[in-house]
Amino acid sequence: MSERILKALMQLFAIIAKVDMEEVEGGFEISGGGRDIVRLFLRQELNQELVNEYIHLFDEYLTVHQGKSKRKDGGKKRTSVNSVKVLRICTQINEELTQKQKLIVLIRILEFIYANDEVTEQELEFATTVAETFNISREEFARCKKFVELNDQELVDDPDWLFINANKEENFTTGLHLCSETIEGRIVIIRIESVNIYFMRYQGSSDLYLNGQALPPNRNFILNQGSSIRSSKVKPIYYSDIISRFLSDDSTAKINFTTDGIQYHFKGGKIGLHPINFSEDSGKLIGIMGGSGAGKSTLLNVLNGNYTPTIGAVTINGV
């Protein structure tokens, strides 16, 4: 994201965020969950030095947008003036954000709104204004909203929702489930198919790690390609395990990729690949490891059709 976009987002977040502001000599002391949400958003975009810089900018905008109102009316509910500000900022940055970035911003805004138990009608109007300005469909807005407000006991029977817990099975008609036998609590994942993005949240109290970083409970994260969820007590859950559940719809034909005893010899007779056999279905993530000169590039060239195997065959669905 550009500097202009990030500055605009800090201003937008400052209007909507729920924070504790205590007036002290020379200004305000700022704390609370809203500030943590901004920091989490920035960490996924920037290095630590820039995170600190934009957090400072966020604090300055907070003083402008919320500090003045606290001095005047002791924390009076935000007025329609803020709705105008939200609309203006969203309109300014709409064309520069990708649709995927717009959905990430929407999720963060919903996090601000649901940061405590009291959600006002005006705050929901803010979120609706953002979604409409960003051309996010009503269906996808409703899914994001439901995801953020979902309690830890509620289930959603929908093919764009996946629940990972220790239960052997769930009584779903179309909803998705993945069993992780030793996990405490659950992981909830939603898919926004229009931009192929997945959001996840852990609802539990154990120490879980997403790509080596602590996974605090009830915070929303982007599930990127190649991600893994781990802990000392839970068998690793890989991105491919999760995606395969979304791709396992019976109405969608699976693709099977098979190598049958493939070997490859270079023109001079040197062996490029010794016999290899494997078979895997679509939706799985396969890793190829080996030292320099072991044949990784040669294997990929054979698998993608650039090289014809000297012996054996590569088939897709048997063809």
User: For residue range 235-259, what is the model confidence (pLDDT) as tens digits?
Assistant: 999 998 999 888 865 555 678 889 9
pLDDT at 224 over 50: yes
Residues 161, 170 contacting (CB under 8 angstroms): no
- The residues that bridge with 213 in the sheet, in sequence order, are 210
Q: What is the pLDDT of residues 288-304, one digit of tens each?
A: 888 888 889 999 999 98
Average pLDDT over residues 5-10: 86
How do 209-210 and 213-214 pair as beta strands? antiparallel
Which one, of 253, 242, 197, lies nearest residue 221 by Cα? 197
Report how far residue 277's alpha carbon sits from residue 297's, in angstroms, rounded to the nearest whole number: 17
Which CATH entry fits the domain spanning 161-246: 1.10.1060, 2.60.200, 2.60.120, 3.30.43? 2.60.200
The predicted structure's pLDDT at residue 108: 87
Average pLDDT over residues 268-282: 86
Q: What is the pLDDT of residues 158-191, one digit of tens each?
A: 999 999 999 999 999 999 999 999 999 999 999 9
Locate the domains of the chain by residue range.
3-140, 161-246, 256-316
Average pLDDT over residues 255-272: 89
The predicted structure's pLDDT at residue 173: 92
Select the highest-mean-pLDDT range: 44-58, 119-133, 167-181.
167-181
Tokens 């995927």 locate to 100
Integer-rounded Cα radius of gyration of the chain: 24
Q: Which one is predicted more confidently, 28 or 229?
A: 229
Average pLDDT over residues 229-234: 91
- Give the 3-state secondary structure of the chain: CCHHHHHHHHHHHHHHCCCEEEEECCEEEEECHHHHHHHHHHHCCCCHHHHHHHHHHHHHHHHHHHHHHHHHHCCCCCCHHHHHHHHHHHHHHCCCCCHHHHHHHHHHHHHHHCCCCCCCHHHHHHHHHHHHHCCCCHHHHHHHHHHHHCCCCCCCCCCCEEEEECCCCCCCCCCEEEECCCCCCEEEEEEECCCCEEEEEEECCCCCEECCEECCCCCEEECCCCCEEECCCCCCEEHHHHHHHHCCCCCCCCCEEEEEEEEEECCCCCEEEEEEEEEEECCCCCCCCCCCCCCHHHHHHHHCCCCCCCEEEEEECCC
Share of the chain above pLDDT 70, in %: 87
CB-based contacts of 153: which residues, under 8 Å, 6+ apart? none
Average pLDDT over residues 41-54: 86
CB-based contacts of 52: which residues, under 8 Å, 6+ apart? none
Average pLDDT over residues 54-65: 84
The predicted structure's pLDDT at residue 235: 92
Question: What is the average pLDDT value for the chain, to the nearest integer?
Answer: 85
Average pLDDT over residues 68-87: 59
Which one, of 286, 279, 284, lies nearest residue 317 by Cα? 279
Structure tokens, 230: 């781990």
The predicted structure's pLDDT at residue 21: 54
Report how far residue 228's alpha carbon sits from residue 104's, in angstroms, rounded to the nearest whole number: 20
The CA dihedral of 28, 31, 33, 37, to the nearest 10 degrees, is 80
